[in-house]
């Protein structure tokens, strides 16, 4: 049984995640765009009213990928460099997307 405090915290987390998710999807609107994680953090901080936790944008980005809403590639992990591949990718565009390999071998189609 969850306490009232836990229920309030979960509601607040869900509300923040919903706001940040929309902003992250907006940020991912341009396939082929390369960005550093700091670029995403800055974009979210400028776009969302109120404070956000330092890694909220990264956690939401990973959750959206897991939910198959976005697809990106880690270009250089040590430099936190990523590339947007698609928003709501399909099996037709990216065969094997269900596996989500650590470093996809396909490229975004023209």
Tens of pLDDT, residue by residue over 40-61, are 999 999 998 888 887 889 988 9
Return the DSSP state at 36: E
User: Residues, the chain, total?
Assistant: 110
CA dihedral 76, 18, 71, 53 (to 10 degrees): 10
What residue spans of 1-99 are helical by DSSP H? 4-27, 37-47, 56-66
pLDDT band at 90 (very low <50, low <70, confident <90, very high): low
Q: Evaluate if pTM is beyond 0.75.
A: no
pLDDT band at 78 (very low <50, low <70, confident <90, very high): very high
**CATH number for the domain formed by residue range(s) 4-99:** 1.10.10
Quote the distance between the C-alpha of residue 109 and its chain's center. Answer: 21
The full set of domain ranges for the chain reads 4-99
Residue 80 phi, psi (nearest 5): 55, 45
In this predicted model, which residue has the larger pLDDT, 32 or 14? 32
């Amino acid at each position: 049984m969850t306490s009232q405090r836990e229920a309030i915290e979960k509601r607040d987390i869900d509300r923040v995640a919903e706001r940040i998710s929309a902003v992250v999807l907006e940020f991912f609107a341009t396939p082929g765009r390369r960005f550093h994680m700091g670029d995403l953090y800055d974009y979210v901080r400028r776009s969302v009213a109120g404070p956000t936790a330092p890694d909220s944008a990264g956690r939401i980005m990973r959750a959206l990928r897991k939910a198959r809403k976005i697809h990106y590639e880690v270009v250089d992990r040590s430099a936190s460099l990523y590339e947007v591949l698609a928003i709501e990718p399909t099996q037709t565009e990216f065969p094997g997307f269900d596996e989500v390999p650590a470093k996809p071998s396909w490229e975004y189609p023209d």
